[in-house]
A and B are shown apart, each in its own frame.
Chain A
């Protein structure tokens, strides 16, 4: 999978002023690589990830995902891309409390009217090391375990690219290390991973670090 980001502009308009968040952002991402996006708070990292994930549209510019112009698609089509191709993990995203870990991971099957892909599920829970937690409810999980469940869901859905906003936020050192290793093993399976982060430990494991100013 190749992702090209060409000349992205994005502004927010409020009553009193216009804020130019992103100005002429251009880069490309390659399959199976780990990228970090760094920058000061408010510099546009979350906005950029949201655009890359198809959650919002830029004012100008394109995001090409394997020859498909993501920014030209309708909202429904962009939403459906997030079902399998693109995974977006916003900051502080939780899991659904009323569903078990397994049900959280396979959530998209409810909306596709499918049976659970047991093979895929097994593979994913083993990669993330949460096999024993499948029947637990999220209230019984630690912060690190909940984060793994979120990654497991992204992998179960077959994402080719994962965008994560501060994936190691609020985690202790051991859990940050664990998440960093998980990201590495995910990318080794050919999944492209981009994380917006302040975590230096994560950044030094990345293939490339983009800096937003």
Chain B
């Protein structure tokens, strides 16, 4: 027979009267469930923005005048768009000979169709393999040799795109081989397909043959949708931006930090609100639990008095009450964490598709920490709420 203990008695009390103790466990469950969900959402939004900032790799992005919103739509919201410079922007930049520019890389945008000729709706981004610096650092899975990933006929896909078993995806009734898959950003780039200029031309012509004409007189080998620029270390990005504007007409110069920054600013209010709500929930839970434990302990006043009569000390009564609260908190916390897990992870793809902001669910240490912090708060709040009642009731028999 096992040794008995105060913990065992606490557990037995709960076991033998689940109805009485269910409320407290449920309160802790709701708290941890909501708190973990909220924190994951907050961290996912912050992580998504941070990852996008890193992934952009560029200090400046040039798009045709008036197309800033469209560019934001592609990068941040994952809305497939296409637009083109009417002029030969790359030659103009070369001729302007602007000081401080370290690297330049152009991109060409197309979109897939929701007619039957394309397997999935995506954003196509055609780029020059030699000058591109935006995708190579982010390759997660390589299906071909590293040097071949942007060869003719190959595509590189964002993390949200499923790669079929045969490794080929159909667009405009043309099949393209998936050469690599990129790491997750939680942004619109996760739904993008990257290809070299020659492959882009093949795709463009395939689209034309299906009746999709993106731009009259467009040459996918030369036409440009956007230009990504990195500046040299120590160079003032604003100065470079001003110089570009003064030398070239019809161009919108976007500081990538600013694009992400404005999105971030817009979300800061939402994030602050989430933190406030979580804080309110914690306080409310504490108050409700305190009241609930007070009622429950008062209900069992006679039992505690009996225990004092048979030789149980005040400290042991307190231990018993707190042990009960601790066990209930553990049960509630575990249930809450499980519920939060099944609420968000199986639906991540749907959530990501539904929200128009970068959303990158944390992983690894960050996620473990979130679970630990939430679990710990859930486990502590019960005994904290019961502490007052435990101290009060342990008086028991009056010393007169």
Residue numbers in A under 8 Å from B302 (CB-CB): 94
CB of A126 closer than 8 Å to a CB of B: no
CB of B5 closer than 8 Å to a CB of A: yes
| Known contacts A79-B313, A80-B311: A103-B399 contact under CB 8 Å | no
Residue numbers in A under 8 Å from B314 (CB-CB): 75-76, 79
A90 touching B309, Cβ below 8 Å:
yes
Pick the contact of A108 from B3, B17, B310, B397 — CB < 8 Å?
Answer: B310
Residue numbers in A under 8 Å from B397 (CB-CB): 55-56
A153 touching B4, Cβ below 8 Å:
no
B310 touching A116, Cβ below 8 Å:
no
CB of B69 closer than 8 Å to a CB of A: no
C-alpha spacing A112/B3, complex, angstroms: 9
Residue numbers in A under 8 Å from B310 (CB-CB): 82-83, 87-88, 107-108, 153, 157
C-alpha spacing A195/B303, complex, angstroms: 22
B3 touching A114, Cβ below 8 Å:
yes
C-alpha spacing A74/B3, complex, angstroms: 29
C-alpha spacing A27/B312, complex, angstroms: 28
| Known contacts A79-B312, A108-B310, A153-B310: A99-B16 contact under CB 8 Å | yes
Residue numbers in B under 8 Å from A114 (CB-CB): 3-4
Residue numbers in B under 8 Å from A79 (CB-CB): 308, 311-314
| Known contacts A12-B400, A56-B400, A108-B311: A98-B3 contact under CB 8 Å | no
In angstroms, how far is the closest chain A Cβ from the Cβ of B156? 65
Report how many residues on chain B are interfacial, defined by Cβ distance under 8 Å. 29
Closest residue of chain B to A96 (Cβ to Cβ) is B303
B311 touching A82, Cβ below 8 Å:
yes
**A residues 39-81 in Cβ contact with B at 8 Å:** 55-57, 75-76, 79-81
In angstroms, how far is the closest chain B Cβ from the Cβ of A5? 18
C-alpha spacing A110/B398, complex, angstroms: 23
Q: Residue-by-residue, is A98-124 near B (CB-CB < 8 Å gives 1, otherwise 0)?
A: 110001001111111111101000000
CB of A84 closer than 8 Å to a CB of B: yes
| Known contacts A113-B3, A115-B2: A96-B306 contact under CB 8 Å | yes
C-alpha spacing A75/B396, complex, angstroms: 12
Residue numbers in B under 8 Å from A95 (CB-CB): 306
CB of A93 closer than 8 Å to a CB of B: yes
A98 touching B306, Cβ below 8 Å:
no
In angstroms, how far is the closest chain A Cβ from the Cβ of B387? 20
C-alpha spacing A88/B397, complex, angstroms: 12
**B residues 11-61 in Cβ contact with A at 8 Å:** 12-13, 16-17
Closest residue of chain B to A154 (Cβ to Cβ) is B310
CB of B8 closer than 8 Å to a CB of A: yes
B17 touching A157, Cβ below 8 Å:
no
C-alpha spacing A175/B230, complex, angstroms: 97
| Known contacts A55-B397, A75-B399, A88-B309: A98-B4 contact under CB 8 Å | no
Pick the contact of B4 from A81, A83, A84, A115 — CB < 8 Å?
Answer: A115
Closest residue of chain B to A104 (Cβ to Cβ) is B306
A99 touching B12, Cβ below 8 Å:
yes
C-alpha spacing A98/B18, complex, angstroms: 11
A157 touching B4, Cβ below 8 Å:
no
In angstroms, how far is the closest chain B Cβ from the Cβ of A119? 12
A93 touching B306, Cβ below 8 Å:
yes
Residue numbers in B under 8 Å from A55 (CB-CB): 309, 397
C-alpha spacing A13/B6, complex, angstroms: 37
| Known contacts A90-B309, A157-B311: A110-B5 contact under CB 8 Å | yes
Closest residue of chain A to B311 (Cβ to Cβ) is A83
In angstroms, how far is the closest chain B Cβ from the Cβ of A40? 21
C-alpha spacing A198/B400, complex, angstroms: 26
B399 touching A98, Cβ below 8 Å:
no
B1 touching A115, Cβ below 8 Å:
yes
Residue numbers in A under 8 Å from B307 (CB-CB): 107, 111
Residue numbers in B under 8 Å from A157 (CB-CB): 310-311
Closest residue of chain B to A54 (Cβ to Cβ) is B311
Chain A CB within 10 Å, residue with most, of B16, B302, B310:
B310
Residue numbers in B under 8 Å from A90 (CB-CB): 309
C-alpha spacing A118/B16, complex, angstroms: 23
| Known contacts A12-B400, A56-B400, A98-B13: A116-B309 contact under CB 8 Å | no
**B residues 306-341 in Cβ contact with A at 8 Å:** 306-316
Residue numbers in B under 8 Å from A57 (CB-CB): 399
Closest residue of chain B to A12 (Cβ to Cβ) is B400
CB of B273 closer than 8 Å to a CB of A: no
B303 touching A84, Cβ below 8 Å:
no
B312 touching A111, Cβ below 8 Å:
yes
Residue numbers in A under 8 Å from B2 (CB-CB): 115
Residue numbers in B under 8 Å from A93 (CB-CB): 306, 309
In angstroms, how far is the closest chain B Cβ from the Cβ of A17? 16
B311 touching A84, Cβ below 8 Å:
yes
C-alpha spacing A106/B5, complex, angstroms: 12
C-alpha spacing A103/B399, complex, angstroms: 28
Apart from the given pairs A113-B6, A118-B1, 5 other A-B contacts in the complex at a CB distance below 8 Å: A76-B314, A98-B16, A108-B311, A113-B4, A116-B1
Q: Which 9 A-B residue pairings sit nearest by Cβ, starting from the closest? A: A83-B311, A82-B311, A110-B9, A98-B16, A110-B4, A109-B4, A79-B313, A96-B303, A111-B316
List 15 A–B pairs whose Cβ atoms lie within 8 Å, in order of A's numbering.
Answer: A56-B397, A56-B400, A83-B310, A88-B310, A89-B309, A93-B309, A94-B306, A95-B306, A96-B303, A97-B303, A98-B17, A110-B8, A115-B4, A116-B1, A116-B4
